[in-house]
Chains A and B, each alone.
Chain A
Amino acid sequence: MKLYFKYMAMLLKSQMQYKASFLMTALGQFLVSFTAFFGVYFMFDRFHSVDGFTFSQILICFSITLMAYSITECFARGFDLFPRLIQSGNLDRILVRPRGEIFQVLTANMEFSRVGRLIQAIWMLVIAVSASEIQWTVDKILTVVMMLIGGVAVFAALFVLYAGISFFTIEGLEFMNIFTNGSLEFGKYPVSIYGEGILKFYTYVIPIALFQYYPFLYLIGRSEDVRLIFLPLLGFLFLILCYLFFRFGLRRYKSTGS
C-alpha cells in the first residue's frame, strides 16, 4: 500500500510537469459533466417527470453513477489505457518486475485531472441530497454508500474486461466503449426508463442496474425490500468474473508475446 502511494506521488509529479495541461483537462472534465447536468435540467424544465421519477430523484441517480464512474476512472485508469501498455511493450517491463501484475497495471496510470469530474459529481450529489424529499435515515445513507461501492466494482470490472479483451484484439476495441462510456450515459437515468429490454440487458449482461436501479427504488421509497440495499455487492461477482477473464488473457499473452 505504501508503494501504491509512492507510485501515486510519482505520477502526480509527472503530471504536474505540465501544470497548464492538467488544469485545462480538469476544467474540461468539470464542464463536460456540467453540460450533461444541464441536459437533465432542461428536459425536466419541460416535462417535470420522466417515467414517474422527479428531477431531484433523477439527479441522485445521475450523481451516484457519475461519482462511481469518476472514482473508478481515477484509480483504474491503468486498465483503461491497457491496450497502449501492450502496444508500447511496457507490459514486458511490468512482467520483469517482482510485483503483482494487477498492482502494476493499476499504478501504471492514474488520471488526477479526473478530479474535475469528481468534484462535479460531489457537488451534484450535494444538490440532489438537499433538494430531495427523502428522509435520510441510516438505511438510506447505507444504500447510497452501497450504490457507490457497487458502482465502482461494476465500472472497474468493465475496465478490466476491456483490458482483458485487448489481449485478443487491439483493433476494434472501440466497440467496448459502448459498455464503458455507454454504461455511464445510460446510467444517468434509472435504466427502467429505457424499457424492459434495456433493463434486462443491464441487469443480467452488464449489471449496472444492480447498483443503480434496484437499490435506487428502495432509496426513493418505491420499494420496501431491504435486500435491495445489498444488491450492489453483486457487482463484485461481476468484477471477479472479469478479473478471471483478464488472468486468462494474460496467460495467453505470455504464450504469444511479440
Chain B
Amino acid sequence: MIELRNINKTFKVAKRNAGFSEAVKALFKKDYTYIHALRDVSFTIGDGEMVGYIGPNGAGKSSTIKIMSGILTPDSGECVINGRTPWKERVSHVREIGVVFGQRSQLWWDVPVIDSFELIRDIYKVEEGQYKKTLSGLIELLDIGEIVKTPARQLSLGQRMRCEIAASLLHSPKILFLDEPTIGLDAVSKIAVREFIKTINRENKTTVILTTHDMQDIEALTERIILIGRGRILLDGSLSALKSRNSSHKTLRVDYVGEGLPASEQMTVIKDLNGHGEMLIDTDRLSVSEAISYISSRVEIKDLSVVGETIDETVVSLYKEFEI
C-alpha cells in the first residue's frame, strides 16, 4: 500500500550567465531560482496494482520516485509505504522495494553479471535456497541464462536491461519502481521486458510503478495511469477513461470510386484527392456506422479504415489542455 498526501518539494537551483567573469562572480555570490518540483501530490496505490506514471520531461516523475524510494526528503507532506515513511526508515524500507533506473546501472561493470547477482544476494541477505529459486525463475523468464556469465560491459543494452531488472528482483521486493525501463531498447527487447513485467505483476502480485515516455509501454501494461505535469497531478484514472475523454472525433480513411466525398454538418472532409480521402466525424452526433452507410450511398467504397486517436495524441492534447 502506497499513500502520498500533499507532498511538496522545492529545489534551489543556482544559475549564472555565461562567461568567465560571471563564473568568477558566481564563486562569491550565487543567484538562486526555486523550482517547485512537486506541489500537493497525493495518490494511493493498492497492493498488486500496476500504475503508469507519465508526464513530460521535468514534470516531477523522477522526484516522486526518489521520494517513494527514500532517496529524497520532501519539504512537506506525508508518504507512507507499507506502514513506513521511506526517508525515515530507509534501510528497512528499501529492503522491500526494487528500483530500476533505466539510465543507470547497478551491475558491476567489469565482472560477469552472475557475480553482481551474488553480491546483491549478500547485500540483501537473501537466503541461499530462496536465492537459487528466485534466480532460476528470473533467468528463465528473462531468458538470460546465456548472458549472466558475461561481464556487464560486453552486453548489449537490451541484454543489460534484462539483467538490471533481474538484479532488482533478486530479493523478491513487494514494490517495483521502474524508471524508464524500455529507454533505448529495440522492439524485441521492449516486448520481452513488457511481458516480463506483466508476468511478475500477475504471478507474484508485485506492485509496479512505471514511468515512461513510451506510450506503447503504458498501453501494453497498465490499466491505471497517473499524469503529472509541472509538479501537479493532473489526472488519475483508467487508461480507457483517458482515451474516451478525447475521442469524440474519429477519422475515416476511405478509398473510393465516384464523384467526391459527401460532406455534411456532422462530418467534414479533411482530404479528398484521386479517390483517397479522409473525413472527420463528430461521434457525439453521428455514429460511425451511420457515417459509413451515408458515404456508401453516394460513392462506391473500395477500402475503409477507422482511425481513432492514438494514446500519444491523447497525451499531447492533455498536455495542451493543462497547458504544460
Contact = CB atoms under 8 A, between A and B. Distances in A.
B225 interface: no
Given A6-B122, A13-B111, A98-B124, A90 B69 contact: no
Interface in A8-47: 10, 13-15, 17-18
B70 A95 contact: yes
B123 A10 contact: no
Contact of A254 (B12, B63, B73, B101): B73
Contacts of B108: 10, 14
Interface in B46-81: 63, 66, 69-73, 75
A99 B123 contact: yes
A256 interface: yes
A13 B71 contact: no
**Interface SS, B side:** mixed
Given A13-B115, A17-B110, A95-B90, A89 B73 contact: no
A98 B92 contact: yes
B260 interface: no
A7 interface: yes
B11 A256 contact: yes
Given A96-B71, A255-B72, A10 B119 contact: yes
Contacts of A96: 69-71, 94, 97, 99
Contacts of A222: none
Interface in B110-146: 110-111, 115-116, 119, 122-124
Interface string A226-258: 000000000000000000000000010011111
A197 interface: no
B260 to A, nearest CB: 59
A25 to B, nearest CB: 15
Nearest to A257: B72
A254 B27 CA distance: 24
Contacts of A18: 110
B155 to A, nearest CB: 15
Given A95-B71, A97-B124, 15 more contacts: A2-B122, A14-B109, A14-B111, A17-B110, A92-B101, A93-B106, A96-B71, A96-B94, A96-B97, A98-B95, A98-B124, A254-B73, A255-B73, A255-B75, A257-B71
Interface of A: 2-3, 6-7, 10, 13-15, 17-18, 88-90, 92-93, 95-100, 172, 251, 254-258
19 contacts: A7-B119, A13-B115, A14-B109, A14-B110, A15-B110, A17-B111, A88-B104, A90-B104, A92-B66, A92-B71, A98-B91, A98-B95, A98-B124, A172-B27, A251-B73, A254-B72, A254-B87, A255-B75, A258-B11
